[in-house]
Structure 1
Amino acid sequence: MHSEIVIVGGGAGGLELACKLGRKLGPQRVLLVDSRLYHIWKPSLHEVAAGTLDVHQEGLSYQMLAHDNGFTYVYGPMTALDAGACQLSVGAIRDGVGDDAEVLLPERRIGFERLVLAVGSVSNYFGVPGAAEHTISLNATEDAERFRLTLLKLLARAELSKDSRPDAGIGIVIIGGGATGVELAAELREASGVYATYGFRRLQALRDVRITLLEGAPRILAPLPEKVAAAALALLHERAIMVAADTRVAAIDAAGVTVADGGVYPADIVVWAAGIKAPDWLATLGLPTARGGQIEVEATLAVRGFPHIFALGDCAACLGVDGKPVPPRAQAAHQQADYLLRALLQLGRGKAAPDQPYRYRDYGSLVSFGQGSSVGSLMGSLKGLSWFVDGLAARLMYVSLHLLHHRAVLGGRRTVLLALARFLIKRSTPLVKLH
């Protein structure tokens, strides 16, 4: 198998790049490799975990997207790279585990002229004892679904225990006060009230679903303006969510979280949202990597020393024009995909790659607080100028970001129809997924 352009990773940036290239070049020249069968916009995983978004309705099939956008899709994980021979390996897909597992798809080798790595990130546990074994991270759809099913089981158990233990409830500890942790805490509080109306009527959400957010920095949402963080903190307190800033985690076990001062936070579920890193297997590819494991790239997003290989998104160690690392945000991946779209089309025409380096533009940040509100800041065209936004207006802006991503991979008309269909479905189905 051979393709002119091979993209590994169907996240926000990789999928948008594959769709836009495919519509211009066709399936014979553009190929996408991903280890999953369907795509979920990663910033919405906290909604999947809370049950307010159904992954089976939200998920977009890569096979469908490939057909509709004119690229070839290969299912499986990338396992090896021969950069000199311009060839990569995709692992076999098996039904089951062990020696008796049936091989559904064999190992495959794919040749390429240009390769784009867009494989995202995984959790960084920073060596905290028990973190990997006793926490759930929202890196992928299966993580969010595992959290949701665990939450349902614990809610059912607490409901049944009310006769013998009137104080029965569940404890949820979220480690990390960045956007993911804050959004999950707010979404869970909203969802817990909805669950109470769907069969868990003996549970009082504010009292029996105890949510704690731990943050090692002096305040939550440390990268965002202090006004945004203060507004977010106030909204969390209004929702009876306990926030402990300047609190460093020392260890995690099945009973809960122990912090540096010796205090213990009991927990039935612990979520790790305290940091990310590049997947470890990137270090085995023979490409230059930074201290955090990301692939080192030039200002043109080409891998250092490998002008025919590129990287974008969370897995790329990319410096902005100010010399600071480009933050691991969806807007950065979107911008990098558009930059590489122009560069790869130009290379495909036999012309030199653009000399102009990639330039990250920060348009601000929005943090969701459930289905009705958000807070954030919008960046102006003048350096240092920003506007604070909150409430319904901020929520509508937050939703529009998801719709813009859908427009990039589905087109404008289908995005409008999909948004309308989901609005109608929500009026005829439970507000949370109950199975």
Structure 2
Amino acid sequence: MKERIVIVGGGAGGLELATQLGRKLGRKGKAQITLIDRNTTHLWKPLLHEVASGALDSRLAEVDYRGQSAREGFQFLIGTLEHVDKDAKTVTLAAINNSEGEEVLSTRNVPYDRLILAVGSVTADFGTPGVKENCYFLDSLKQADAFHAELLDEFLRVNQALEDGKEAELSLAIVGGGATGVELAAELVHSVSLLSIYGLKHLNRSHFKVQLIEAGERLLPALPERLSTSVLKKLRKLGVEVILNNPVKEVTKQQLCLSEGEPITADMMVWAAGVRAPDITQSWNLQLRKNNQIEVNEYLQSVSDKSIYAMGDCSACRIDDERWVPPRAQSAHQMAECLYKNISREYAGRDPKPFRYKDRGSLVSLSRFSAVGNLMQSKSVSMSIEGTLARWAYASLYRMHQRALHGWWKMFLILLVDKLNHAVKPRLKLH
């Protein structure tokens, strides 16, 4: 009987792993590879801030799970993971209802021999009162689309008020000075600068206020302090007001209450501060960290069950006694590569190798204005880059993800199509 390998979560790591195992084992009938996700399409998560700002039309960047599975030799099931039965070795998928509440698919049990959990992460609100009720999150395409729809309404409202001769301003507050917060702030400034091209001639950067609030002493703690300072200067030059070392203690309707100083009033508020694994991991009877991450050993197996693996943002893997693998796209990519090689080694009768995280550095895009980052070459040596070189390096991260899914030739074809779309499509998505 073929081994049943079930992967739950079609994010960066999960889809790459399903694709690689499908090519290696699924096509040849050596194993049954099944990918489960609640959505029908995949979008690389680091692109969500571009979708939210209108810089990217998500339909041009999505990967259809069923199409990918048909090409690459794995099976795709749509569903939301509800329960893991370690004794029976089954996962339970919740029932699926249509928009009218009618049941389309009933609850299903999917058996596995090897289960790989790649359920990603969500933004951590740290228990701050009012965050869930009053702030936007950018954890999924649905949330990014909801933010974008509201943003377009605000663009129209303020532009019309200015056209009518009234005083008006669009204010937006972002909590979290990590990569998502910084990149979103820059993309929003760029989006507003394009509005006049598409008929909204009254709303410009002078009527658009972006505030970025960070609880820590500096932005982008993953980057060297010199680059963090450089980003701070670039954002302020773009007109973004940056508030440091001042945590948000409460959120009310259109207001952020800070630990120090007056509350911040904003038309729209985005919470992008910190990450944790989804709460559902607490119900699986696996050993977790406080942030809901599943603790794994050096082979990415759960310390509670050797037939269950965890990878990407939902896994807690030690680098050493003090450090853990950070929740980044590069971590998910490296874990997917490690699991693929180890499973392949086992099928070839060889022993698996332990996972070793290699920090390739961090890159942050400031929209079309600039990019910064550091490329790690060793523990003691790193190379800092800015400007055009950093923008090329940042773009290459997404291309490498596409290469893992489609191969080199298709990746180059997709790159060509993207260039053509950039030439013929509007530079800003306004619908």
Deviation track 1:71-123 (CA, whole Å, cap 9, x = no partner) reads: 100001111111111111111221025xxx22222221111110100000012
- 1:196 equivalent to 2:186? Answer no
Structure 1 residue identity aligned to 2:262: G
CA contact (8 A) 1:155 1:169 kept: no
The CA distance in 1 between the partners of 2:346 and 2:111, in whole Å, is 17
Cα distance, 1:340 vs. partner? 0.6
In the TM superposition, what are the counterparts of 1:28-427 in structure 2 within 5 Å? 29-96=32-99, 101-163=101-163, 166-205=166-205, 207-321=206-320, 323-349=322-348, 351=349, 353-354=351-352, 356-371=353-368, 373-380=370-377, 382-427=378-423
Q: Summarize the Cα distance change of 1:165–1:124 in structure 2 as closer, same or farther, 3 Å threshold.
A: farther
Identity of aligned residues (%): 38
Cα distance, 1:171 vs. partner? 0.6
User: TM-score scaled to structure 1, two decimals?
Assistant: 0.95
Deviation track 1:173-232 (CA, whole Å, cap 9, x = no partner) reads: 000000110000011111111123212101122x11110000000111112110110111
The CA distance in 2 between the partners of 1:161 and 1:76, in whole Å, is 45
The CA distance in 2 between the partners of 1:9 and 1:296, in whole Å, is 17
Cα distance, 1:234 vs. partner? 1.3
SS at match of 1:162: helix
The CA distance in 2 between the partners of 1:383 and 1:103, in whole Å, is 54
Structure 1 ranges of 4+ moved more than 4 A: none
Deviation track 1:323-367 (CA, whole Å, cap 9, x = no partner) reads: 411110111111111111112223344x4642x421111011110
Cα distance, 1:165 vs. partner? 5.7
Q: Which runs of 5+ in 2 are unaligned?
A: none
The number of residue pairs the alignment matches comes to 428
CA contact (8 A) 2:254 2:269 kept: no
The CA distance in 2 between the partners of 1:309 and 1:195, in whole Å, is 49
Structure 1 residue identity aligned to 2:326: P
CA-atom RMSD, angstroms? 1.6
Deviation track 1:213-261 (CA, whole Å, cap 9, x = no partner) reads: 0000011111211011011111101110000000110111112211012
CA contact (8 A) 1:344 1:353 kept: no
CA contact (8 A) 1:214 1:243 kept: yes
Q: Summarize the Cα distance change of 1:161–1:372 in structure 2 as closer, same or farther, 3 Å threshold.
A: closer
Q: Summarize the Cα distance change of 1:90–1:352 in structure 2 as closer, same or farther, 3 Å threshold.
A: farther
CA contact (8 A) 2:195 2:204 kept: no
The CA distance in 2 between the partners of 1:383 and 1:283, in whole Å, is 35
Question: Mean alpha-carbon deviation: is it higher for 320-329 or for 335-344?
Answer: 320-329
SS at match of 1:427: helix
Q: Summarize the Cα distance change of 1:322–1:419 in structure 2 as closer, same or farther, 3 Å threshold.
A: farther
Structure 1 residue identity aligned to 2:364: V
The CA distance in 2 between the partners of 1:12 and 1:287, in whole Å, is 23
Deviation track 1:47-87 (CA, whole Å, cap 9, x = no partner) reads: 11110100111111001111111110000111111111111
Deviation track 1:112-156 (CA, whole Å, cap 9, x = no partner) reads: 110100000012111111101111111010111111111100010
User: TM-score scaled to structure 2, two decimals?
Assistant: 0.96
